[in-house]
């Protein structure tokens, strides 16, 4: 029988964690193991777990003494024994058929290495609405399309899964770990991109199915990345991480095109000169700050890449 382990990295959000664990109790296909990875200094979460009633939930804990989601998830990966490792965030609540649908996909094709789905994002009580057919893809010139939270349609193969709702076959990942070079003291933007593309490079399929769903309630972060607010360090980190992953995974011709496109054009989240000009009338000096952080992130990623060879 296939064994599924659920890994949750958490930090100082016990109320969110309680909601997540409650959702896991209600799974139609019960989880075989729930591993909660907690920072050693996180007294709020440890206090909560001491009083948590684990009835109907085979829960264990693991301690991490290094900051950041990458370190926590690597600890979780090493401490679990499941044939399938399912990851979600402490501020998410998987739907009752989450594990059932994940298992069905893995059983349907032995070449599937990863399975993920949609996260229905709530801002307070307001659901973020929208529909996207194209999600989780890397375009030929290096532009990354996420939009996992708005995906519709049938299950299909993608290039990248999203951390709040992803799962992997143990035999596919082998000795792989999430990339420790990803920058960020808490959130480490694009760590899923690095892991997903590495699996793709190894010949495994990644499946995105919008019916595999979690409700996502983006909670407070305790690092430089405060979501929709500009922070020079967080912006730099995100651009560095994405650029490093693409430099390592794109073939030579596409990599060359990516470098020119990223510098000259870029995106809203990682602007080049064209995007800077586009947003300059509206954002003024902020547009310039984003451009500088973006170019610095691109250059630092190039240096990280060269040093890693």
Percent of the chain that is helix, strand, coil (3-state, to 5): 40, 25, 35
Q: Distance between CA atoms of 4 and 169, rounded to whole angstroms?
A: 9
Burial call 256-279: b when 16+ CB within 10 Å, e when fewer = eebbebbeebbbeebbbeebbeeb
Q: How far apart are CA 13 and CA 11, in angstroms?
A: 6
Mean pLDDT, rounded, for 128-156: 97
The pLDDT of residue 231 is 86
User: For the whole model, what pTM was predicted?
Assistant: 0.94
Q: What is the pLDDT of residues 282-294, one digit of tens each?
A: 999 999 999 999 9
What are 96-114's pLDDT values in tens digits? 999 999 999 999 999 999 9
pLDDT of residue 210: 98
Q: For residues 181 and 97, give the distance between their C-alpha atoms in angstroms, rounded to a whole number.
A: 35
Start-to-end CA distance of the chain, whole Å, equals 41
Name the CA radius of gyration of the chain, rounded. Answer: 19
How confident is the model at residue 221, as a pLDDT?
A: 59
Domains of the chain with bracketed CATH: 4-216 (3.90.550.10), 232-308 (no CATH)
Tokens for 63, please give them: 């301690």
CB crowding 59-72: b at 16 or more within 10 Å, else e? beebebeebbbbbb
Tell me the per-residue pLDDT of 58-91, one tens digit each, with 9 for 90 and over: 999 999 999 899 999 999 999 998 999 999 999 9
pLDDT digits (tens, 9 = 90+) for 199-241: 999 999 999 999 999 999 997 755 445 556 768 999 999 999 9
**Is 194's pLDDT higher than 80?**
yes
- Choose among 177, 180, 196: nearest CA to 68: 180
- Reduced to 3 states (helix: H, G, I; strand: E, B; else coil), residue 299 is helix
* Rounded-to-integer distance, Cα 107 and Cα 86, Å: 15
Long-range contacts of 40-46 (CB under 8 A, 24+ apart): 40/64, 40/65, 42/10, 42/11, 42/12, 44/12, 44/14, 45/10, 45/11, 45/12, 45/13, 45/14, 45/17
Q: Which pLDDT value is given to residue 228?
A: 61
In the predicted structure, residue 118 carries a pLDDT above the cut 70: yes
**Helices and strands (H, E) in the chain, number of each type:** 10, 12
Query: In the predicted model, what is the mean pLDDT of the chain?
Result: 94
8 pLDDT exceeds 90?
yes
Helix or strand holding residue 18 (H, E): helix 14-25
User: Is the pLDDT score of 187 beyond 90?
Assistant: no
Phi-psi region of 236 (alpha: psi -120 to 50; beta: other; left: phi over 0): alpha
> What is the reported pLDDT for 147?
97
Q: What is the pLDDT of residues 159-185, one digit of tens each?
A: 999 999 999 999 999 999 999 999 987
Q: How far apart, in whole angstroms, are the C-alpha atoms of residue 274 and residue 296? A: 16
């Amino acid at each position: 029988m296939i064994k599924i382990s659920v890994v949750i990295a958490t930090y100082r959000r016990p109320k969110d964690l309680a909601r997540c664990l409650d959702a896991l109790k209600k799974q139609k296909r019960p989880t075989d193991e729930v591993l909660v990875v907690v920072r050693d200094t996180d007294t709020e979460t440890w206090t909560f777990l001491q009083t948590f009633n684990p009835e109907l939930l085979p829960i264990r804990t693991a301690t991490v003494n290094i900051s950041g989601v990458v370190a926590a998830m690597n600890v979780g990966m090493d401490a679990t024994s499941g044939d399938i490792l399912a990851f979600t965030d402490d501020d998410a609540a998987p739907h009752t058929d989450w594990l059932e649908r994940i298992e069905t996909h893995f059983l349907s094709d032995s070449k599937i290495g990863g399975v993920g789905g949609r996260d229905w994002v709530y801002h307070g009580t307001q659901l973020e609405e929208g529909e996207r057919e194209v999600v989780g893809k890397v375009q030929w010139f290096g532009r990354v399309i996420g939009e996992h939270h708005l995906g519709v349609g049938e299950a299909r193969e993608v290039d990248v899964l999203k951390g709040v709702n992803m799962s992997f076959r143990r035999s596919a990942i082998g000795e792989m770990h999430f990339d420790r070079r990803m920058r960020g003291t808490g959130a480490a933007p694009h760590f899923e991109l690095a892991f997903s593309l590495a699996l793709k490079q190894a010949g495994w399929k990644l499946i995105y199915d919008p019916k595999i769903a979690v409700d996502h309630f983006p909670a407070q972060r305790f690092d430089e990345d405060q979501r929709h607010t500009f922070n020079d360090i967080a912006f730099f980190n995100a651009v560095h991480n994405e650029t490093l992953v693409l430099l390592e995974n794109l073939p030579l011709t596409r990599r060359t095109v990516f470098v020119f496109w990223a510098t000259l054009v870029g995106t809203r989240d990682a602007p080049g000169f064209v995007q800077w000009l586009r947003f300059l009338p509206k954002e003024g000096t902020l547009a310039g700050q984003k451009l500088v952080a973006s170019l610095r992130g691109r250059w630092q990623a190039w240096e990280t890449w060269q040093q890693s060879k």
